[in-house]
Amino acid sequence: MSLFLWGNTKMSSVFLFALKRLYVFSAVVVMLAALGCFELCYAAEGHASFASLLAGGLSPVGLGGYHSTPARFADPSYGLSYYWMDEVEETSWNMSLEFGNHDHRVGAFVAYLSMDSLYRNLYSELSYARSWNRFVIGASYGVDMEWIPGGDFWARHRFKGALDYRWREIHLAGMLSGYTDEGVSPMVGVHWISDESIAAFAECDFDYLYIGTVFRWKFAEISSSYRFPDFAVALQLSFEISRYGISFARGFKHNSIAWNGLHVTRWLKDERRKIN
């Protein structure tokens, strides 16, 4: 009898594992179908709030995310991303878009986070940036709605203000962000972009130091970032063909649960924005 129960338990575990993988695969198919293609592509930056910084929140280009600066040069595009954590039922769907020209950039970011059946979060953000040849200034406003299914609901307001100054291949950036019921959080950083094939950055929020590198080839890109202290690392592999892209990211934190991210992106112009 005990052997029979053990067998049933084992089969149930295998079934649940397969069901979870099928759910993730279905999410991939849905996101790719939403873009109307199965082309390879480059990553969106629409990071979930629980994911460590990867591409660098103060990067001068890229789709917006929870951690990112609004002071960016416009590169019209849109993207979807899905994040999930290992061992716990915490997931996040994210959508980012931006449009603009040489002088203006308007962006939007929406993220839906679910934690088991205990907690839900919907975060929406709008941003605007005004750019010149060497200087960008931007601001954003976000609404963070949180609720417990069948229970309490509350909302908060979040603001960001940022700037970016370009000197040759170097970008110096700073950002202030925070909720109206909390204090302001500063972040400063420097990004080095060489012919847009090699990039490196260092950013600091006065609690942690983030260091990262990006290596780009014709159709592929590898990104990595590291956080000190309370060590964390994030890696991302991306592919790009024409105006489409896809990437997979994975992050690890010291004494914490790892997270995963899948991104799909479509750019709206044949020629990408050159920032150097």
Is 275 within a domain? no
- Indicate if 227 and 92 belong to the same structural domain: yes
Question: What Cα–Cα distance (Å) separates residue 15 from each residue in 29, 31, 68, 137?
Answer: 21, 24, 39, 52
Reported confidence tier of residue 180, pLDDT bands at 50, 70, 90: very high
* Sign of the torsion angle spanned by Cα atoms 186, 125, 46, 275: negative
Percentage of the chain surpassing pLDDT 70?
A: 77
* pLDDT given for residue 232 in this prediction: 87
- Indicate if 2 and 104 belong to the same structural domain: no
* pLDDT given for residue 21 in this prediction: 41
20 φ/ψ angles, rounded to the nearest 5 degrees: -65, -40
Is 276 within a domain? no
**pTM here?**
0.78
Is 163 within a domain? yes
Reported confidence tier of residue 52, pLDDT bands at 50, 70, 90: low
Residue range 40-44: mean pLDDT, rounded? 35
pLDDT at residue 71 is higher than 90? yes
Average pLDDT of the residues of the chain: 81
Contacts of residue 67, Cβ cutoff 8 Å, sequence gap at least 6: 47, 49, 53, 57
| Total number of domains in the chain | 2
* pLDDT given for residue 74 in this prediction: 94
Residue in 42, 37, 35 with CA at minimum distance from that of residue 61: 42
Q: In this structure, are residues 189 and 208 in contact, taking their beta carbons and an 8 Å threshold? A: no
- Indicate if 147 and 248 belong to the same structural domain: yes
Residue range 98-121: mean pLDDT, rounded? 93
Reported confidence tier of residue 13, pLDDT bands at 50, 70, 90: very low
- Indicate if 203 and 231 belong to the same structural domain: yes
* pLDDT given for residue 275 in this prediction: 62
pLDDT at residue 27 is higher than 80? no
Q: Which domain holds residue 193?
A: 39-267
Is 274 within a domain? no
- Indicate if 251 and 153 belong to the same structural domain: yes
